[in-house]
Structure 1
């Protein structure tokens, strides 16, 4: 089976690639910063801007043989105090975190239909419950969750199934940077102190590892049984 993973150079994306490789699946790994296509064994590495025609053509060409699944794990943070949000900042977050998924699905839908595949969007628990000082990011992830719920309920296309993984806090350089922004916005704690406070609010008492979040994404993408449309993997912090 062949799977396409976007955001494959990030903490979660690279863990998803590793999880699929461990299952002996063929992987097309996409990263916007990848300039030269390459292949190392069962992983084909490609790049390009998903919102550009050239980037979409690269996706189409790489997936022409059919896809058992697409796991969209790309995205950017969008944390900032509400008073500091600018139109340009918010539009960029929405374009990369939400609009690019529309372009990705358009580019991969024929390949997914050939294999009756699954399209999985790695969203966030911030797409289920709004978070303070995180309005732009939450808005982008709410858009992803709403879009997935809508297209999953359409009866006209049963050849493809759609899922959103609403992951909780996952250990990564991106999470560390976000906590630093939250701490500075509140002006009351360091990033480490903020992270410790956040962990105490999670029933399991810790953040997820990239491997755990990757395993949840791969669970949704595999076709060996029914899967929930929306899966909240948040350590109990947000229940769906």
Structure 2
């Protein structure tokens, strides 16, 4: 009697909530051994409960990994390889929102946003590529429709996501020569609490916005409304599982019809007028 093959192993960053949590559970349900990482493992309760409810707690292993801390990346990978022997896929999901405009913020705010959302992806990718080459594995990165279309009051966040898109678009053909498939997953709005997701005091921000207050108020009202009718976290995470399991994953995948239509506006807008007309309406 042959011995059953061990499940493939995927490392997912940013799994304490949102798309990362949903992706970890869905990947485990698809039969993957999931190494679910987060900066603070004390926040693993919701993931553990979701995995238990789905009956996949034995396939979800929580580890600490902070994408801006190279030592924590190295430690996590060393433990993963010692325990599982191989790494078949990585999902770069960890990130943080940032709302504001440059005149009202600081260059340090922009650097911090780039550090988490761009350089964190770069550091994880650099560390895992040798192992993905060995397994001829897959590198999946969650960006955003904000990595294709720049959006008002999201200058730093969109800049970081644009950078990730350019980085991965450039890396993909090189990685493919070594057998590693690269995929970008682009969600739109995902059902959540908007204020909590960006981690700011919106009333205070509006008070401090000065000449930009009317535009910010209009933007916030429009965005809160869009979040209230957004797709679920599981719906947004489903394309990640598909990219893990399909024979030939696409390079760029949007997570909803709305996201596909939104991104298409940019990709057919050679002079930029369509995007400017669309996003100008968001700020009144």
The answer to whether TM tops 0.5 is yes
Greater RCO structure (CA 8 Å; 6+ sep): 1
Counterpart check, 1:16 vs 2:44: no
Gaps of 5+ in 1: 200-204
CA distance in 2, matches of 1:157, 1:181: 47
CA distance in 2, matches of 1:95, 1:155: 23
CA distance in 2, matches of 1:94, 1:15: 25
Written as runs of structure 1 = structure 2, the 5 A alignment for 1:133-212 is: 133-154=153-174, 157-173=177-193, 177-178=197-198, 181=202, 184=206, 186-188=215-217, 194-196=223-225, 198=226, 206-212=229-235
Counterpart check, 1:84 vs 2:107: no
Distance 1:10 1:156, change over 3 A: closer
Match in the other structure for 1:213:
236
Post-superposition CA distance 1:211-235 (Å, at most 9, x none): 011101221233x321221122242
1:61 to 71, 78, 90: 78
Match in the other structure for 2:125:
105
Match in the other structure for 1:119:
139
Gaps of 5+ in 2: 1-7, 49-56, 207-212, 268-284
Distance 1:115 1:181, change over 3 A: farther
Aligned residues: 233
- Higher helix fraction: Structure 1 or Structure 2? 2
CA distance in 1, matches of 2:262, 2:233: 17
- The DSSP-based 3-state class of the residue aligned with 1:24 is coil
Tell me if the contact between 2:184 and 2:252 (Cα under 8 Å) persists in the aligned partners: yes
CA distance in 1, matches of 2:170, 2:125: 14
Match in the other structure for 2:62:
45
Counterpart check, 1:233 vs 2:233: no
Distance 1:155 1:51, change over 3 A: closer
Post-superposition CA distance 1:135-192 (Å, at most 9, x none): 0000000000000100002277432111111110111235654498499453535956
Post-superposition offset of 1:67: 1.8
Q: Structure 1 stretch 140-149 or stretch 162-171: which is displaced more?
A: 162-171
TM-score between both structures, scaled by the size of structure 2: 0.73
Post-superposition CA distance 1:81-132 (Å, at most 9, x none): 2321311110010010010111101221222122211111100000000000
TM-score between both structures, scaled by the size of structure 1: 0.85
Regions of 4+ moved over 6 Å: none
- The DSSP-based 3-state class of the residue aligned with 1:237 is helix
Tell me if the contact between 2:14 and 2:38 (Cα under 8 Å) persists in the aligned partners: yes
Query: What is the Cα-based RMSD across aligned positions, in Å?
Result: 2.9
Distance 1:107 1:188, change over 3 A: closer
Counterpart check, 1:34 vs 2:41: yes
